[in-house]
Copies of this chain bind each other. A is one copy, B any other.
Amino acid sequence: MAKLMGRSIVGFGDGDEVSERFYGINPANGQRLQPGYSSAKAADVEHAAQLAAEAFRVYGRTSGRERGAFLRAIAANIDSLTTELVERAHQETALPPGRLQGETARTCGQLRLFAQVAEEGSWVGARIDRADPDRKPAAKPDIRSMLRPLGPVAVFGASNFPLAFSVAGGDTASAFAAGNPVIVKAHPAHPGTSELVGQAISASVRECGLPEGVFSLLFDSATQVGVALVTHPLVKAVGFTGSRAAGRVLMDLAAARPEPIPFFGEMSSTNPVFVLPGALRERGEAIATGLHASFTLGAGQFCTKPGIVFVPQGSDAQLLVKKLQELVLGSTPFQLLTPGIRSSYLSAVAGRKVHATVKSITEAPAPAPAAENGLSVGSVLFETDAASFLKSFQLEGEIFGPTTLLIQHSSRSELLEIARKLEGHLTATIHGTEQDLHDFGDLVAILENKVGRLVFNGFPTGVEVSHAMVHGGPYPATSDGRSTSVGSQAIFRFARPVCYQGFPDDALPEELKDSNPLRIWRMIEGEMTREANVPVLVSESR
């Protein structure tokens, strides 16, 4: 059994202890969990940043094979901690053990996916343009480019995925894979889980003989450490998953630095669902069932939770609504993750209840807020019409928790008008027949500009970790819609292109040498190839 120390991990050392500790809280009963945690001090942040900058000199130049071995070591170490992790995470989050088991597997799967990407090596996008000394009016130089890491990356753990978007989550895995040291700011809602994972990473740093500064884990119950990391001159990029309010503050800090740095925040999304007429007619009840499962999954605390659902008004809609009402009424209370999330949920629901044009059409009874009930809340189904929605766009805002808003519209043009006015979201979902999809091609065209992922006849929760996944979208879904925080393309956030002009083969990185020793895919004079040897340019053939 790994021992929890309640202190930050700074390279191979510990952060300072402070007298005032904070504690994980069991959402099921409101009880404090031992040990108490010391928030990192300014000196810990400074030390972690210095170590990371130093480590970058070595780690930034490791091979893909070495990075792969490191990521696989982390996965193996987390794997072997599964029982403890699930137990501790269950105490800290009240998420069901089955879900946490799955999330642990997913976390390890992500680490191994990035290991594979690093080992295979083509992700660097190597490009080679050959020299042509005979070109007129000027000789053409030999130019070769590839992606290189940025430097120390600060990662913010998220509350709602204590493993997959936390200490060893996708941000950390992709930053490591690209060759960057990582300093994680642990989410205070699951400090024990964070520390266990942090220990697993630290052990992997040692096992792989890497410099200690490759990884640090800082605890903080407040905001100082986060601000210090984002504004630290040695930190070169940030990965963040959290609320829109906190994300915007940090993103603004990153942009206002003397040297602004890339900030990748995944912040807020209501994930609109569009139920089109044919699908509604054919399988309204089945859609209701899927929708209910989706917006209550993880107690509605997923960034891909469908929070607004558009349905054409009429008798078909009534069947879907009726089914949803049944499901909501029959649902048992949900445990939210933190007191803060619970109070935000309750106040957002209360606000919506007194909204002039929104009806709370069904509400599952919540238990009285007694200590033994912890952070449980009931599910609420809201309804409004499209005209009201158009007049009150704050209804587009995200509410974390098991609630959704049905919006009935009276015409196709009203629906398109709403779609055009939507802000950025992570996903948009369309339920339709193939005929619907054909009839609503303009809706798809609008949504392509609003989201990172379009889902057809599915539900947005459940984000596949794969090469093609895009978990991103225009602001405010993310701070930079040109990126994804899930899937192998997440690696591109933490790298930048560098080109080498006129370098002798010996002095080039492996990825760019003539002989292509890594057998990676490269673009040579605009053509993709993974062949060895760069053919010599024959001037006559130009």
CB-CB under 8 A from A506, the residues of chain B are 434, 437-438
Q: Is A480 an interface residue (CB 8 A)?
A: yes
Q: Is A133 an interface residue (CB 8 A)?
A: no
Indicate with 1 or 0, residue by residue over A419-449, a CB within 8 angstroms of chain B CB atoms: 0000110000000001001100100110011
Q: Are A469 and B143 in contact (CB under 8 A)?
A: yes
CB-CB under 8 A from A434, the residues of chain B are 504, 506-507
Q: Are B482 and A497 in contact (CB under 8 A)?
A: yes
Minimal Cβ-Cβ distance residue in B for A441: B507
Complex formed: what's the CA distance from A45 to B424 in Å? 24
Q: Is A246 an interface residue (CB 8 A)?
A: no
Among the listed stretches A63-71, A251-259, A273-281, A385-393, which one makes contact with chain B, having 4 or more residues with CB under 8 Å of it? A251-259
Q: Is A412 an interface residue (CB 8 A)?
A: no
Question: In the complex where A448-B148, A482-B496, A507-B444 touch, is A501 in contact with B467 (Cβ < 8 A)?
Answer: no
Q: Are A482 and B495 in contact (CB under 8 A)?
A: yes
Q: Are B260 and A256 in contact (CB under 8 A)?
A: no
Q: Are A497 and B479 in contact (CB under 8 A)?
A: no
Minimal Cβ-Cβ distance residue in B for A450: B498
Q: Are A484 and B497 in contact (CB under 8 A)?
A: yes
Q: Are B252 and A454 in contact (CB under 8 A)?
A: no
In the complex, which of the residues A60, A128, A467 has the most CB atoms of chain B within 10 Å of its own CB atom? A467
Question: In the complex where A464-B140, A470-B145, A496-B482 touch, is A458 in contact with B501 (Cβ < 8 A)?
Answer: yes
Complex formed: what's the CA distance from A521 to B458 in Å? 28
Residue contacts A-B, CB under 8 angstroms, 9 given? A120-B526, A251-B255, A255-B255, A260-B479, A437-B506, A467-B526, A468-B523, A482-B495, A482-B497
Minimal Cβ-Cβ distance residue in B for A484: B497
Q: Are B496 and A472 in contact (CB under 8 A)?
A: yes
CB-CB under 8 A from A116, the residues of chain B are 526
Contact with A456, one of B61, B145, B261, B507 (Cβ below 8 angstroms) = B507
Q: Is A517 an interface residue (CB 8 A)?
A: no
CB-CB under 8 A from A128, the residues of chain B are 468
Q: Is A137 an interface residue (CB 8 A)?
A: yes
Question: In the complex where A129-B469, A437-B507 touch, is A498 in contact with B453 (Cβ < 8 A)?
Answer: yes
CB-CB under 8 A from A424, the residues of chain B are 259
Q: Are A468 and B259 in contact (CB under 8 A)?
A: no
Q: Which residues 395-420 in A have Cβ within 8 Å of B in the complex?
A: none
A456 CB → nearest B CB, Å:
4
Question: In the complex where A60-B449, A260-B479, A484-B497 touch, is A503 in contact with B468 (Cβ < 8 A)?
Answer: no
Q: Is A185 an interface residue (CB 8 A)?
A: no
Q: Is A207 an interface residue (CB 8 A)?
A: no
Q: Is A245 an interface residue (CB 8 A)?
A: no
This chain: how many copies in the complex?
A: 2
A440 CB → nearest B CB, Å:
10
Complex formed: what's the CA distance from A448 to B61 in Å? 10
Q: Is A502 an interface residue (CB 8 A)?
A: yes
Q: Are A262 and B480 in contact (CB under 8 A)?
A: yes
Q: Are A498 and B470 in contact (CB under 8 A)?
A: yes
Q: Are B501 and A262 in contact (CB under 8 A)?
A: no
CB-CB under 8 A from A481, the residues of chain B are 150, 496
CB-CB under 8 A from A441, the residues of chain B are 507
Q: Which residues 447-502 in A have Cβ within 8 Å of B in the complex?
A: 448-449, 451-458, 462, 464, 466-470, 472, 474-476, 479-484, 488-489, 495-502
Indicate with 1 or 0, residue by residue over A236-270, a CB within 8 angstroms of chain B CB atoms: 00000000000000011001100111100000000
CB-CB under 8 A from A143, the residues of chain B are 464, 466, 468-469
Q: Is A84 an interface residue (CB 8 A)?
A: no
CB-CB under 8 A from A470, the residues of chain B are 145, 497-499
Q: Is A57 an interface residue (CB 8 A)?
A: yes
A526 CB → nearest B CB, Å:
5
Q: Which residues 38-61 in A have Cβ within 8 Å of B in the complex?
A: 56-57, 60-61
CB-CB under 8 A from A483, the residues of chain B are 496-497
A425 CB → nearest B CB, Å:
12
Contact with A449, one of B127, B151, B484 (Cβ below 8 angstroms) = B151
Q: Is A314 an interface residue (CB 8 A)?
A: no
Complex formed: what's the CA distance from A438 to B507 in Å? 8
Q: Is A122 an interface residue (CB 8 A)?
A: yes
Q: Is A513 an interface residue (CB 8 A)?
A: no
A421 CB → nearest B CB, Å:
12
Contact with A468, one of B129, B138, B457 (Cβ below 8 angstroms) = B129
